[in-house]
Amino acid sequence: MKIWQVDFYRRPLQDAESHPIWELVVCEPTRNAQAFAAQAYCPQPEVGADWLTQALQVLAKAAGGLPEQIQLFRPQCLSLLETACLPLNIPVEPVRNLPALKQLLQERAAQYPTLPNYSPTLGQPYHPTALDQPPPLPLPENLWGERWQFAALPASELSAFQNRPIPVLELPPERLPLGLKLPADLPIPGVIIEAGRRAMPLTRWLQQAKPHALSAMSGEPDGLILAAGLVDRWVLTTFSDPEVSLAGQSFQRRQQAALGLHFLLVQPDNSGMTYSGFWLLSADLSSGLA
């Protein structure tokens, strides 16, 4: 499948009329000498779906055709890109982790100060991939399960979930421990939720929320935070028990050792016979945020 990773947002640049300049940046997921990458500038008064549709068509001529899918990480350009891609019949997928695009944006940001129309943000450094983090919201009370626990599984056991009849299973091949060259006996941390009759409603809610990563946050009280979607955050539960807090610290240490890899498992009970949802997740350790 031909995929473009795309960003369209204002940059620390301005035109002759002092209008902020937006930049469309496009690249393929694998960056190498043969991979396509391009950009186009747009003065703010011209920003709109029509300009974006035309710009994508122009770039497609140089790339040998339009992509079959477009991925983005910035919420502010999601609606605009979806509208621009409608006449082109290109689906748009929001994805948090787009390393090729984010690397290209960092490279572009290093070039802006050398341009004659550079207009630095007053008093603030420019971070091309930074997104506003909203405060976490509490999980709806009608969804939370009966019991939960921090847990860990040997890395070798994660692939076994591929063969189990789980209604919602998110096990991306690129996150499997074998591909990450993790030892087979390395403990992969996770959270197990026993939700009883709420197991499937909780699983369906999580599926719509698109889980990205879990983190055990210290505070008063401590909390289990779910990062989901592009920038959403949810408080799954809070706790103040010292033993649970120690388990949360162990969960974070094991994440570090596992290169951010961890899991979320929802099941109706602890029989080991029935599962409702399983997600293999990956925290962004470089940012310090889930």
Tell me, yes or no, whether 43 lies in a domain. Answer: yes
Tell me, yes or no, whether 120 lies in a domain. Answer: no
Question: Could you list the residue range(s) of the whole structural domain that residue 104 is in?
Answer: 3-114
Kindly state whether residues 60 and 145 are assigned to the same domain: no
Tell me, yes or no, whether 131 lies in a domain. Answer: no
- Kindly tell me the burial class for residue 284, based on how many C-beta atoms sit within 10 Å of its own C-beta (0-12, 13-18, 19 or more): middle
Kindly state whether residues 198 and 97 are assigned to the same domain: no
Tell me, yes or no, whether 20 lies in a domain. Answer: yes
SS3 content of the chain, % helix, strand, coil (to 5): 30, 30, 40
**CA–CA gap between residue 193 and residue 177 (Å, rounded):** 22
> Which pTM value belongs to this model?
0.83
Kindly state whether residues 163 and 88 are assigned to the same domain: no
- Give how many domains the chain has, as a whole number: 2
Question: What was the pLDDT predicted at 124?
Answer: 74
Question: What was the pLDDT predicted at 146?
Answer: 84
Question: What was the pLDDT predicted at 233?
Answer: 94
Residues 6+ positions from 241 with CB-CB distance below 8 Å: none
Kindly state whether residues 167 and 208 are assigned to the same domain: yes
Torsion of CA 40, 70, 90, 169, to 10 degrees: -170
Tell me, yes or no, whether 270 lies in a domain. Answer: yes
Q: 88-91: long-range contacts (C-beta < 8 A, 24 or more apart)?
A: 88/53, 88/56, 88/57, 90/56, 90/66
Q: Which residues of 120-155 are buried (b: 16+ CB within 10 A; e: fewer)?
A: eeeeeeeebeeeeeeebeebeeebebeebebbbbeb
Specify the CATH number for the domain of residue 24: 3.30.420.10
Per-residue pLDDT of the chain (290 residues; tens, 9 = 90+): 899 999 999 999 999 999 999 999 999 999 887 889 999 999 999 999 999 999 999 999 999 999 999 999 999 999 999 999 999 999 999 999 899 999 999 999 999 999 999 988 756 788 999 998 889 999 888 888 789 999 999 999 998 898 889 999 999 888 889 888 999 999 999 999 999 999 999 999 999 999 999 999 988 889 999 999 999 999 999 998 999 999 999 999 999 999 999 999 999 998 878 999 999 999 876 544 44
Kindly state whether residues 141 and 268 are assigned to the same domain: yes
Residue finishing a domain among 62, 81, 114: 114
Kindly state whether residues 86 and 176 are assigned to the same domain: no
Kindly state whether residues 153 and 237 are assigned to the same domain: yes
**CA–CA gap between residue 110 and residue 22 (Å, rounded):** 16
Residue finishing a domain among 80, 114, 148: 114
Kindly state whether residues 163 and 251 are assigned to the same domain: yes
Single out the residue of 113, 75, 70 nearest to residue 92, CA to CA.
70
Q: DSSP string covering 152-210, please?
A: EEEGGGGGGGGGS--SEEE--GGGSTTTTT--TTPEEEEEEEE-GGGHHHHHHHHHHH-
Kindly state whether residues 159 and 275 are assigned to the same domain: yes
Kindly state whether residues 199 and 87 are assigned to the same domain: no
Tell me, yes or no, whether 126 lies in a domain. Answer: no
Kindly state whether residues 98 and 158 are assigned to the same domain: no
